[in-house]
C-alpha cells in the first residue's frame, strides 16, 4: 500500500526512523529514482522489532483522529512525495531518496526571455540573388525558438501575421567584384547599414539595387548572405560587375545655312573609384566656340552633401529675326537676313546638394557670369502674318558692353526609373528655379521656372510607352541664352549646344499657326508620347541595349506680350502658337555612352532654306 503524504504533513522522524523507506520507481510506478538501477545494493537490513509489534503500531496509527492542523491546506505548493510499506524480503532503497510527482502542465514556468545571439547558430538560407529568400516558420506543433531581440525592439512590429517572420541582424557589408570602385563608394548607396535588422522581403534591398545601377558604374548587381560571427547575424555580400565609366556625353555635329559645327563632351563617372564625376565638353563653329569643365563630388568630405564646381567660357554669336530683318551695325554695315550679335561669356557655378531619400534629391547653387556684348545699333523685323504684318524692333535681350549675371539656382529631382539609360518602368520629375537680382550684384533681374516630367510604362509584350511633359516660364528680363529656344523644343530643327545657336531657322509650322513668329521667348510647353521596342539587351560586351522608337507631340512657344496682345494677321486657332514635333530612329546604350541615330539627326545635316 502506497501512502501519499504532503511535505507539511510528514510525521516526526522518530516515527519514520525505524522504517527507513523510499518509494522506488518499481514500487510506485510514477517516478524515477535519483539513482540509476546500476547502483550497487547495500547490505541487507533487518528491523530491530518483531513483525507483530510493527503491525500493531500501524493499526494504532490508522485509528487515531487527524490533527486539526493536518486539515489546513498546505502552505507549500511543492509536489507531494510518495512512501510505501516495506517488503521484508527485499533490500531497502537508499536512505531518504524521494520521487517527485510531475506538476500539471498548466503550472509549468514561463519560457525564459530570448538570450543574446550566440556563435554557431543556423541562419536558414545562406545565399540569395536580388532578394533574400524567407525562411519558412516552424510547424504548428513545435514551439518556435525565440528570435534574439534587441532591448526595447519588437521584430514583429506588433503585427499578428508576422509572428514567424525571420529577420536577420546585419553584421557588416562586404563588397565583391569591384576592381576600380572603392568599397565605401558602393556601400554609400546601400539603404541597409550594419547593426540594423532586415527581413527577406525588405523593400530596402530592391531600392539599394536600383540605386547602385543608377550610378552607371555597374553592368550587374546582385546580393547574397553568409553567416556572421554570432547567432542570428549575417554578412550582407554585394556582388558587382563594373562597366566602363568614361562615356561620351555630348556628340554633336551639323551643317546649317550659316555655319558647320561640331562638338564633343566626355565624362568620367567614377573618378579614381570615388564616385566623383569630371566632365569636359567643347563645341566649335564658324565664329563660335565654347568650353565647359565640371566636377561633382557626391559625398563632400565624407558627408551626405555633394559639391559642384563648374566653369564655362564662350565666344558666341546669335542670329535674331525671322522675317524682313534690317540691322545696322556700328561699323556701318547693314544686315538683311538676320541681326547678328556677338558676345563673350565667362563664369561658373558653385553648389551643393543632398539626397532627401533614395528617390529624391535637392540641389542649390550660386551662379556668376561676366558678359561682354557687341550689339547692332538698331534692328527691326516684320512681325505678323502678311499682308497684315507690321515692323517691330528686334528684342536683343542683352545689355551692350559689359554686364553681370549673379543669382541662385535650386532644383528638385524625383526618380523611380528602373534604368537610367533605357528605362522601362518608373518616372522622373525635375523642377527648378533660377533667380537673379540686383541685390546679388546682377544687371539682370529675373526668375525662371521649369518642370520636366516623364513616365515610362512597360506593356505586356515588353514594349515601352513614355509620356513626357515640359513647362517653363520666365518673369523679368532674362539674358538671351537663358530664354526658351525653338530648337530646344522641336525635334525637327537643331537645338543649342553648350548654349550656342548655329542657325536662324523658324519652326516648320505644320499646323499653320503663329509659331512661325517665335524664336527666343519666355513661355514654353511640350507634351509628347514615345513608343519604343527593345530589340536587344545584354550586360556584357560593347552594346548593352538597342531600341527602335517613334515619338510624336505638340509644343508651344510664346512671349508674355503675345499673350496680352494678339499678333496681327492671325485669327481663330492660328492665334495659338502650337506646332507638331516628332522623331523616329534607333537608340543605343553602349560601353561608351548613349547614342541616338534618328530622323532628326539627318535633318540637322541638311541646310534648310528660310522663306
The per-residue pLDDT for range 289-345, each reduced to its tens digit, is: 999 999 999 999 989 899 999 999 999 999 999 888 999 998 889 988 889 999 999
User: Where are the chain's structural domains?
Assistant: 1-34+79-103, 164-242, 272-605
pLDDT tens track for 576-603: 999 999 999 999 999 998 999 999 888 8
What sign for the dihedral angle of Cα 215, 221, 227, 233? Answer: positive
Residue 332 is placed in which grid cell?
556701318
Minimum mean pLDDT range among 97-106, 358-367, 502-511: 97-106
Write out the DSSP string of 518-570.
-SEESEEEEEEEEEEEEEEE-SSSSEEEEEEEEEEEEEEEE-HHHHHSPPTT-
Please tell me the predicted confidence (pLDDT) of residue 58. Answer: 53
Predicted local confidence at residue 550, as pLDDT: 98
pLDDT at 349: 98
Burial (CB count <10 Å: 0-12, 13-18, 19+), residue 165: middle
Whether domain 272-605 has CATH 2.40.160.50: the reply is yes
> What per-residue confidence (pLDDT) applies to 610?
63
Q: Are 533 and 558 in contact (CB under 8 A)?
A: no
Which pLDDT band holds residue 85 (cuts at 50, 70, 90)?
very low
Reported as a pLDDT band with limits 50, 70 and 90, residue 348 is very high
Whether the pLDDT of residue 35 is over 50: the answer is no
For residue 29, pLDDT over 50 is answered with no
pLDDT for position 13? 39
Instruction: Determine contact, residues 261/497, Cβ cutoff 8 Å.
Output: yes
Lowest mean pLDDT segment, chosen from 31-35, 423-427, 520-524: 31-35
- Confirm if 314 and 289 have CB atoms less than 8 A apart: yes
Percentage of residues in the chain having pLDDT higher than 90: 56
What gap in Å lies between CA 414 and CA 453, rounded to an integer? 9
- Choose the weakest-confidence range: 127-136, 163-172, 275-284, 554-563: 127-136
Mean pLDDT across the chain, nearest whole number? 79
Is the pLDDT reported for residue 108 higher than 70? no
Mean pLDDT on 60-73 = 46
pLDDT per position as a tens digit, 209-247: 988 988 889 989 999 999 999 988 999 999 999 989 999
Residue 219 class from Cβ within 10 Å (0-12 exposed, 13-18 middle, 19+ buried)? middle
Sequence-distant (6+) residues with CB within 8 A of 201 are 131, 132, 134
Report whether pLDDT(418) > 90.
no
CATH fold label, 164-242:
Ubiquitin-like (UB roll) (3.10.20)
Question: Which pLDDT value is given to residue 580?
Answer: 97
Which of residues 610 and 12 earns the better pLDDT score? 610
Question: Between these two residues, 109 and 575, which has the higher pLDDT value?
Answer: 575
Supply 433's cell numbers. Answer: 528655379
> If pLDDT is split at 50, 70 and 90, which confidence band does 144 have?
very low
Q: What is the pLDDT of residues 244-265, one digit of tens each?
A: 999 998 888 888 888 899 999 9
| Backbone angle region of 419, left / alpha / beta, with phi > 0 → left and psi within -120 to 50 → alpha | beta
- pLDDT of the residue at 39: 41
> Look-up: residue for cell 561633382?
296
Amino acid at each position: 500500500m502506497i501512502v501519499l503524504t504532503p511535505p507539511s504533513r510528514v510525521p516526526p522522524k522518530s516515527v519514520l526512523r525505524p522504517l527507513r523507506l523510499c518509494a522506488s520507481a518499481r514500487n510506485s510506478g510514477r517516478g524515477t529514482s535519483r539513482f540509476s538501477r546500476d547502483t550497487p545494493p547495500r547490505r541487507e537490513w533487518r528491523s530491530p522489532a518483531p513483525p507483530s509489534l510493527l503491525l500493531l503500531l500501524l493499526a494504532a496509527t490508522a485509528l487515531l483522529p487527524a490533527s486539526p492542523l493536518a486539515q489546513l491546506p498546505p502552505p507549500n505548493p511543492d509536489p507531494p512525495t510518495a512512501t510505501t510499506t516495506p517488503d521484508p524480503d527485499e533490500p531497502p532503497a537508499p536512505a531518504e531518496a524521494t520521487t517527485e510527482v510531475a506538476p500539471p502542465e498548466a503550472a509549468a514556468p514561463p519560457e525564459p526571455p530570448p538570450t543574446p545571439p550566440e556563435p554557431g547558430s543556423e541562419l536558414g538560407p545562406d545565399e540569395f540573388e536580388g532578394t533574400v529568400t524567407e525562411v519558412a516558420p516552424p510547424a504548428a506543433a513545435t514551439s518556435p525558438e525565440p528570435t534574439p531581440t534587441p532591448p526595447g525592439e519588437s521584430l514583429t512590429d506588433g503585427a499578428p501575421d508576422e509572428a514567424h517572420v525571420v529577420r536577420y541582424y546585419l553584421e557588416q557589408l562586404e563588397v565583391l567584384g569591384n576592381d576600380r570602385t572603392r568599397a565605401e563608394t558602393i556601400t554609400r548607396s546601400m539603404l541597409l547599414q550594419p547593426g540594423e535588422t532586415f527581413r527577406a522581403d525588405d523593400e530596402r534591398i530592391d531600392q539599394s539595387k536600383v540605386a547602385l545601377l543608377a550610378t552607371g558604374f555597374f553592368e550587374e548587381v546582385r546580393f547574397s548572405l553568409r553567416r556572421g560571427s554570432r547567432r542570428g547575424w549575417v554578412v550582407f555580400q554585394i556582388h558587382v560587375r563594373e562597366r566602363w565609366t568614361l562615356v561620351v556625353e555630348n556628340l554633336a555635329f551639323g551643317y546649317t545655312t550659316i555655319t558647320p559645327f561640331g562638338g564633343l563632351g566626355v565624362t568620367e563617372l567614377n573618378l579614381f573609384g570615388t564616385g566623383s564625376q569630371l566632365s569636359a565638353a567643347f563645341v566649335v563653329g564658324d565664329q563660335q566656340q565654347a568650353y565647359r569643365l565640371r566636377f561633382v563630388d557626391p559625398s563632400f568630405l565624407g558627408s551626405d552633401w555633394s559639391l559642384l564646381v563648374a566653369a564655362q567660357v564662350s565666344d558666341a554669336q546669335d542670329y535674331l529675326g525671322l522675317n524682313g530683318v534690317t540691322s545696322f551695325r556700328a561699323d556701318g554695315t547693314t544686315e538683311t537676313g538676320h541681326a547678328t550679335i556677338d558676345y563673350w561669356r565667362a563664369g561658373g557655378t558653385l553648389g551643393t546638394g543632398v539626397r532627401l531619400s533614395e528617390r529624391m534629391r535637392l540641389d542649390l547653387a550660386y551662379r556668376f557670369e561676366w558678359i561682354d556684348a557687341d550689339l547692332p545699333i538698331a534692328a527691326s523685323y516684320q512681325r505678323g502674318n502678311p499682308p497684315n504684318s507690321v515692323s517691330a524692333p528686334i528684342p536683343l535681350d542683352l545689355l551692350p558692353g559689359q554686364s553681370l549675371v549673379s543669382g541662385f539656382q535650386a532644383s528638385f529631382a524625383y526618380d523611380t526609373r528602373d534604368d537610367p539609360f533605357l528605362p522601362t518602368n518608373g518616372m522622373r520629375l525635375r523642377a527648378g528655379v533660377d533667380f537673379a537680382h540686383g541685390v546679388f550684384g546682377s544687371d539682370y533681374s529675373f526668375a525662371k521656372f521649369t518642370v520636366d516630367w516623364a513616365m515610362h510604362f512597360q506593356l505586356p509584350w515588353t514594349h515601352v510607352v513614355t509620356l513626357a511633359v515640359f513647362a517653363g516660364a520666365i518673369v523679368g528680363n532674362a539674358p538671351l541664352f537663358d530664354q526658351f529656344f525653338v530648337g530646344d523644343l522641336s525635334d525637327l530643327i537643331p537645338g543649342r549646344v553648350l548654349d550656342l545657336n548655329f542657325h536662324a531657322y523658324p519652326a516648320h509650322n505644320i499646323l499653320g499657326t503663329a509659331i512661325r513668329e517665335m524664336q527666343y521667348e519666355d513661355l514654353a510647353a511640350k507634351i509628347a508620347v514615345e513608343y519604343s521596342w527593345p530589340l536587344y539587351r545584354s550586360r556584357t560586351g560593347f552594346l548593352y541595349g538597342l531600341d527602335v522608337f517613334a515619338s510624336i507631340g505638340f509644343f508651344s512657344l510664346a512671349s508674355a506680350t503675345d499673350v496680352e496682345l494678339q499678333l496681327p494677321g492671325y485669327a481663330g486657332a492660328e492665334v495659338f502658337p502650337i506646332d507638331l514635333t516628332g522623331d523616329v530612329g534607333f537608340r543605343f546604350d553602349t560601353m561608351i555612352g548613349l547614342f541616338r541615330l534618328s530622323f532628326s539627326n539627318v535633318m540637322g545635316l541638311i541646310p534648310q532654306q528660310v522663306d
